[in-house]
C-alpha cells in the first residue's frame, strides 16, 4: 500500500442497545486516496462512517469501544472538543440536505460560525468553493435564491461546496449519488477523483460499479464485520475470501 494512513481504526465495536452493529472493525484508511466502504444494505457501513466523526453521539443507547486515530487524536476517546474535530471532516449525505437559507449563505455558514464573518472575506471564498464543486456558473446570478430552489443534483453539489468550505482534510460521503440521476452522479464521481489529490475521501456505497470506477482502496463489509480490504486492483482482480468472490460476481442476495 502506498502512502500513509490517514485514519486508523482499531478494534471498534458498536452496539445499538442489544444489537451488535460493528464487530471488531480494524482498518487503515490511506491518505489522499478514495476509500470505498462496500457492502449490502444494513451491513453497518454507514454506521462505520458516522463513527469516524462521532455523529453516532446523536443516537440513543449507543455503546462504542475501540479507537479511531486521526492524526494525533483518538476520535472516540479524545478530551478535545468534538465540534473542533468534526470541522476537519466534510460530510456528504445520501440525499442533499441544504440548510434553510439562500445559496450564498449555505456555503458561508460554516465560515461564519468559525468567526469569519466579513462580506469581503466571504464573497471570494464562496465563489471559490462553488467553483470547486462545479456549481458557480449555474448559480452565480441567483446567489440569494433559496437553496431549495435548485435541482437535486445541484443541491448535492451545493452540499459538497458547503462541506469543502470549512477546509477539511477528510471528506466523508454516505452514498452521495444514490438519489441523483446518472449525469449528476458522474459529476460528483469525477469531482471526487479530482479532489483526491488534496483530500482523503471515504465513501460508502452499495454499488459495485461505482466502487470499480473510483475506488483506490476497498473495505468490504458484511453483517457488521470487515470481510476483506485492500487496494482496489487487488480486491477486484484477486479477491481472497469466498464471500468477496461471490459478491463481486454478483451472486449475492
Partner 1 sequence: MVVALVFSMTLPVMLAIGLYYKSSGLLMEQSLFNLIFSKDWRPLSGHFGLFPFIISSLWVTVLALIIAGPICLFSAIHLTQYAKSYVLKVMHPIIDILAGIPSVIFGVWGVVVIVPFVSQHIAPLFGKQTSGYTIMSGGIVLAVMIIPFILNILIEVFKSIPEELTEVTLSLGATRWMVVKHILMRKAFPGIVSAFGLGLSRAFGETIAVLMVVGNVTRIPHGALQPGYPLPALIANNYGEMLSIPMYDSALMLAAFVLLIIVIIFNFISRMVIHRMIKIM
- Report the interface residues with partner 1, using CB under 8 A: 50, 53, 55, 58, 60, 83-84, 86-87, 89-91, 93-95, 97, 99-101, 109-110, 113-114, 146, 148, 159, 162-163, 165-166, 172
Backbone angles phi, psi at 128, to 5 degrees: -60, -50
CB closer to partner 1 out of 3 and 71: 71
In the complex, least distance from residue 251 CB atom to partner 1, rounded to whole angstroms: 33
Q: What is the CA radius of gyration of the chain?
A: 18
In the complex, least distance from residue 150 CB atom to partner 1, rounded to whole angstroms: 13
In the complex, least distance from residue 97 CB atom to partner 1, rounded to whole angstroms: 5
In the complex, least distance from residue 85 CB atom to partner 1, rounded to whole angstroms: 9
CB closer to partner 1 out of 35 and 53: 53
CB closer to partner 1 out of 105 and 229: 105
Exposure string for 63-77, b = 16+ CB within 10 A, e = fewer: ebebbbbbeebbbbe
Give which of 23, 29, 35 is closest to 9, Cα–Cα. Answer: 29
What CA–CA distance (Å, rounded) separates 134 from 199? 17
List, in sequence order, every beta strand (DSSP E) within the chain: 5-16, 19-30, 34-38, 62-70, 73-74, 89-92, 170-174, 200-205, 217-222, 225-231
**What is the DSSP annotation of 69-112?**
EETTEETTT--S-HHHHHTTEEEE-SS----SSBHHHHHHHHHH
Cross-strand pairs, 241: none
In the complex, least distance from residue 144 CB atom to partner 1, rounded to whole angstroms: 11
CB closer to partner 1 out of 62 and 208: 62
CB closer to partner 1 out of 35 and 244: 35
In the complex, least distance from residue 106 CB atom to partner 1, rounded to whole angstroms: 10
CB closer to partner 1 out of 80 and 249: 80
Amino acid at each position: 500500500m502506498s502512502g500513509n494512513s490517514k485514519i486508523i481504526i482499531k478494534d471498534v465495536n458498536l452496539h445499538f442497545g442489544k444489537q451488535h452493529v460493528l464487530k471488531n472493525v480494524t482498518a487503515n484508511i490511506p491518505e489522499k486516496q478514495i476509500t470505498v466502504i462496500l457492502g449490502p444494505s444494513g451491513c453497518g457501513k454507514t454506521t462505520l462512517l458516522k463513527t469516524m466523526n462521532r455523529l453516532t453521539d446523536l443516537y440513543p443507547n449507543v455503546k462504542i469501544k475501540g479507537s479511531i486515530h486521526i492524526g494525533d487524536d483518538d476520535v472516540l476517546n479524545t478530551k478535545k472538543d468534538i465540534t473542533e474535530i468534526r470541522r476537519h471532516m466534510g460530510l456528504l449525505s445520501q440525499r442533499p440536505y441544504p440548510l434553510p437559507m439562500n445559496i450564498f449563505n449555505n456555503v458561508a455558514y460554516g465560515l461564519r460560525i468559525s468567526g469569519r464573518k466579513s462580506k469581503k472575506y466571504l464573497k471570494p471564498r464562496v465563489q471559490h468553493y462553488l467553483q470547486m464543486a462545479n456549481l458557480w456558473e449555474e448559480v452565480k446570478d441567483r446567489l440569494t435564491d433559496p437553496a431549495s430552489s435548485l435541482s437535486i443534483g445541484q443541491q448535492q453539489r451545493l452540499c459538497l461546496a458547503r462541506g469543502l468550505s470549512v477546509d477539511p482534510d477528510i471528506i466523508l460521503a454516505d452514498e452521495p449519488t444514490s438519489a441523483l440521476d446518472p449525469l449528476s452522479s458522474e459529476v460528483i464521481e469525477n469531482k471526487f477523483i479530482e479532489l483526491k489529490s488534496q483530500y482523503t475521501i471515504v465513501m460508502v456505497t452499495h454499488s459495485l460499479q461505482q466502487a470499480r470506477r473510483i475506488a483506490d482502496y476497498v473495505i468490504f463489509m458484511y453483517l457488521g464485520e470487515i470481510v476483506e480490504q485492500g487496494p482496489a486492483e487487488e480486491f477486484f482482480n484477486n479477491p481472497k475470501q469466498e464471500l468477496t468472490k461471490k459478491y463481486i460476481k454478483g451472486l449475492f442476495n
